[in-house]
Amino acid sequence: MISGSSLILQTATRFLVPLLFLFAVFLLLRGHNEPGGGFIAGLVASGAFALHLFAFDASSTRRLMGVDGQLLMGCGLLLALASGVVGMVLNGQPFLSSQWWSLYVPGIGELKLSTPLFFDVGVFLVVIGVVTTIMLSLAKVEE
Residue 134's CB is within 10 A of a number of other CB atoms, namely 13
Query: What single letter denotes the amino acid at residue 27?
Result: L
Q: What is the pLDDT of residues 46-89, one digit of tens each?
A: 999 999 999 998 999 999 999 999 999 999 999 999 999 998 99
Sign of CA dihedral 10, 41, 74, 133: negative
Residue 84's CB is within 10 A of a number of other CB atoms, namely 16
Q: Taking the model in full, what pTM does it have?
A: 0.88
Q: What is the pLDDT of residues 99-135, one digit of tens each?
A: 889 989 888 888 888 898 899 999 999 999 999 999 9
